[in-house]
Amino acid sequence: MKIAVLSRNPRLYSTRRLVEAGQQRGHEVVVIDTLRAYMNIASHKPQIHYRGKPLEGFDAVIPRIGASVTFYGCAVLRQFEMQGVFPLNESVAIARSRDKLRALQLLSRRGVGLPVTGFAHSPDDIPDLIQMVNGAPLVIKVLEGTQGIGVVLCETEKAAESVIEAFMGLKQDIMVQEYIKEAGGADIRCFVVGDKVIASMKRQAKPGEFRSNLHRGGTASLIKITPEERMTAIRAAKVMGLNVAGVDILRSNHGPLVMEVNSSPGLAGIEETTGKDVAGLIIEYLEKNGGPHLTRTKGKG
């Protein structure tokens, strides 16, 4: 196969590993800087140009689209889909997962367990918004935050009111979520490929911190997940329409709760922790399921 990896930086661990795994399995792999691709959308034959030349002959495309380039990245991916190139994850599914409110609404509609979550643009009644998620302690999240930045734990309702007011004053969209105390500062990353969880790890926050992000000093370790957690992760990826996803789960005393479904999950932490060849399994998925004109939506919808 000839595989394109859409990535801004060929030196990133995940990008490097995907290139390496593809080449090891006998494929031609080309890294394309997402923001340097340009397109002709008026033509009957949708084209993508890169560094002065048309990009042609690809069988599959692996999108590694960062949160800050979602809009343009999805447009480039859509253009590949219109050409019939098989995407590891479809543009429509990536756009769905990047809109945190839409993602939670879709998951809740299909009965996937979630922390009780409220959101509002500018409520006249902040105390009522707080009561909707069962009062303090609660977690407030800036919608476009990543790596745990913009995630605040408020122990009291008074603190929550002030923080909500502050974010609203800054015109930041936020969501308000029940705090899952019994998770003990840990979450579980389930790496889904196709209809399987192929690797999972537990991330534990450093002492005195509730956010388990590795960027916030959290540590990762191996974990055996329960059949219910496995099923929840697979279901969450399926609801989003993602073939490959990193599903983050909190262990609550009423079962697994999905916090987020990530459409470009990083490979470094999960490969280092589990010792599994996750990149190889992703390429294997493309070998088994890819092919010309097999994309479900062709960028529609």
Interaction between residue 97 and ligand ADP (CB under 6 A): no
Contact with ligand ADP (CB under 6 A): which of 59, 248, 271, 277?
Answer: 248
Interaction between residue 145 and ligand ADP (CB under 6 A): yes
HSE on the CB side for 62, CA within 13 Å? 34
Q: What is the CA radius of gyration of the chain?
A: 20
Interaction between residue 151 and ligand ADP (CB under 6 A): yes
The residue range among 3-11, 68-76, 173-181, 229-237 that interacts with ligand ADP, by the rule CB under 6 A, is: 173-181
Q: Residue 224 carries which DSSP code? A: P
Kindly tell me the burial class for residue 237, based on how many C-beta atoms sit within 10 Å of its own C-beta (0-12, 13-18, 19 or more): buried
CA-to-CA distance for 25 and 111, rounded, in angstroms? 39
Interaction between residue 16 and ligand ADP (CB under 6 A): no
Q: Based on CB atoms, which residue is closest to ligand ADP, 160 or 180?
A: 180
Q: Based on CB atoms, which residue is closest to ligand ADP, 179 or 191?
A: 179
- How many residues make contact with ligand ADP (CB under 6 A)? 22
Contacts of residue 111, defined as CB under 8 A and 6 or more positions apart, other chains included, come to none
CA-to-CA distance for 233 and 212, rounded, in angstroms? 18
Buried b (16+ CB within 10 A) or exposed e, 115-136: bebbbbeebeebeebbebbeeb
Quote the least distance from Cβ 257 to ligand ADP, whole Å. 8
Kindly report the number of other CB atoms within 10 A of residue 208's CB atom: 7
Q: Based on CB atoms, which residue is closest to ligand ADP, 80 or 210?
A: 210
Interaction between residue 87 and ligand ADP (CB under 6 A): no
CA-to-CA distance for 75 and 34, rounded, in angstroms? 10
Quote the least distance from Cβ 284 to ligand ADP, whole Å. 28
The residue range among 5-13, 65-73, 163-171, 180-188 that interacts with ligand ADP, by the rule CB under 6 A, is: 180-188
Q: Based on CB atoms, which residue is closest to ligand ADP, 148 or 290?
A: 148
HSE on the CB side for 26, CA within 13 Å? 2
Quote the least distance from Cβ 153 to ligand ADP, whole Å. 8
Contact with ligand ADP (CB under 6 A): which of 183, 236, 245, 261?
Answer: 183
Contact with ligand ADP (CB under 6 A): which of 250, 258, 270, 286?
Answer: 250
Q: 134 by DSSP, 3-state: which?
A: coil
Paired residues of 63 in beta bridges: 6
Interaction between residue 264 and ligand ADP (CB under 6 A): no
Quote the least distance from Cβ 69 to ligand ADP, whole Å. 17
Return the structure tokens found at 172.
């930041």
Residues between 196 and 235 with contacts to ligand ADP, criterion CB under 6 A: 205, 210-213
Quote the least distance from Cβ 96 to ligand ADP, whole Å. 16
The answer to whether the CB of 221 falls within 8 A of the CB of 259 is: no
Residues that bind ligand ADP (CB under 6 A): 115, 139, 141, 145-148, 151, 177, 179-180, 183, 187, 205, 210-213, 248, 250, 259-260
